Amino acid sequence: MGNLFDYLDEYGDTTFETRPFCEADALVLSQLSYLGFDGTVPGLSEKKGPVALGDIDAAMDPERVFYFKTYERQNRKLWKQLLAGKRFGNLACGYYQSLLDPQLEMQFGAVTFFPEKAKPVVAFRGTDGTMVGWKEDFNMAFKHHVPAQQKSVEYVNSVGALLDGPFLICGHSKGGNLAIYGAAMADPAVKEKVEQIYSLDSPGFLPEMLPEEVYSGIRGRVRRILPVSSLVGMMLQNYEAYEVVKSSAFGVLQHDCYTWQIENGRLDKAEEIEAKRKRMDEVLNQWIFALSEQEREMMVNSLFEMLEKTGAVTLAEFSADWKENLRACMKYMRDLDPDTRRRFRRFLKMLFEIYGSVTGEALRQELTR
């Protein structure tokens, strides 16, 4: 079974005139949005036109562009394949924005791609491995609007006003959440221009944050695609039906788009999320919504205060010295005041009780079939 690289091997020399933009292309551009284009792609506020991939390649510092270590090897290979083919070889990039603000607890990235003979595509970056980025993701469990979501609306409105015709939006992980939110909350005139939204294994929303009446305005244009063993994409509330893609990885590693399977130029679809994974996701969501907003905030803040004690600013740094960092986390737990420790124990007890009830009900249904 093929993957993203096999797709480009097979269709990389096929133009968009011959083969229209498809879900696999949304996967390509969502992954491309993880690259650091600072200094090579004009920013949103600059009065400069989009820059072609070849010009970026000639001027870039590879260490800055491929800064995201989690996908560095794959992203470098992807870059070379895009440059070598007709489909993306003349791809232009513009309106780049990248923000990291520890004070606001915000990590945001977006870029607009201009494929030759195809509609423009706004791509939102997912979580990039920084602790700030992961903290913002967790904040979605209790904050009604995290800063990156507000930025996504501003970005869609700004770019949408500059574009003459329809455009697409895509994103992986948090980027897919921003794609949906940015489109749903955009100005009416801009929202009309959004032709399709690709949300790839992306978390949902607190119910009060994206009301049904707001979401209904874009429902028919959203395509949510999740791997067979999705964790991230099943978190929090999701209104839209989803499609399921097969993956060559196991468990949470399926979040990596490079493991998604592609056959004959299309994502190889499965019928459903794995039953065991679905029950575990249900448990996690029940647990999240059983806690009060204040309790969720306390849990998240305590977790990241603990991680902050290690001095690591990225997950890669934490992993590089994980034994010492784990010791620092354990010390933090021991030093918690008695009331906070009791709360943690209660939260965990609640999680196990919910898990027992969900798995017990699933077993009962199996036995009575």
pLDDT, one tens digit per residue, over 84-104 is 999 999 999 999 999 988 888
Which residue is listed with tokens 């083919």? 85
Write down which residue in 217, 250, 274 finishes a domain.
Answer: 274
Secondary structure (3-state) at 38: coil
Q: Which amino acid is at 366?
A: E
Residues 307 and 174 grouped into a single domain: no
Order of strands across the sheet that contains 51-52: 51-52, 92-101, 106-114, 121-124, 167-172, 194-200, 222-227, 242-245, 269-270
Which pLDDT band, with edges at 50, 70 and 90, does 362 fall under?
A: very low
CATH of the domain at 267: 3.40.50
Q: How many domains does the chain have?
A: 2
Write down which residue in 218, 248, 274 finishes a domain.
Answer: 274
Write down which residue in 220, 255, 274 finishes a domain.
Answer: 274
Residues 240 and 260 grouped into a single domain: yes
Residues 268 and 290 grouped into a single domain: no
At 345 the pLDDT is 67
Does the pTM exceed 0.75?
Answer: yes
Residues 62 and 179 grouped into a single domain: yes
Residues 251 and 215 grouped into a single domain: yes
Residues 317 and 264 grouped into a single domain: no
| DSSP calls for 54-77 | HHHHHH--HHHHT--GGGHHHHHH
Residues 88 and 212 grouped into a single domain: yes
Residues 23 and 151 grouped into a single domain: yes
Could you tell me if residue 175 is left (phi over 0), alpha (psi between -120 and 50 degrees) or otherwise beta? alpha
- Report yes or no: 91 and 113 within 8 Å, Cβ to Cβ: yes
pLDDT, one tens digit per residue, over 44-62 is 888 889 999 999 999 999 9
Residue 166, both tokens: 């329809």
- Report yes or no: 208 and 144 within 8 Å, Cβ to Cβ: yes
Other Cβ atoms less than 10 A from the Cβ of 253: the count is 12
pLDDT, one tens digit per residue, over 253-308 is 888 899 999 998 999 988 877 666 666 667 666 767 777 778 777 777 777 777 77
Distance CA 210, CA 193 (A): 20
In which domain, by residue range, is 320 found?
Answer: 279-367
Residues 170 and 294 grouped into a single domain: no
pLDDT, one tens digit per residue, over 305-351 is 777 777 777 766 776 676 787 787 777 777 778 877 777 666 666 55
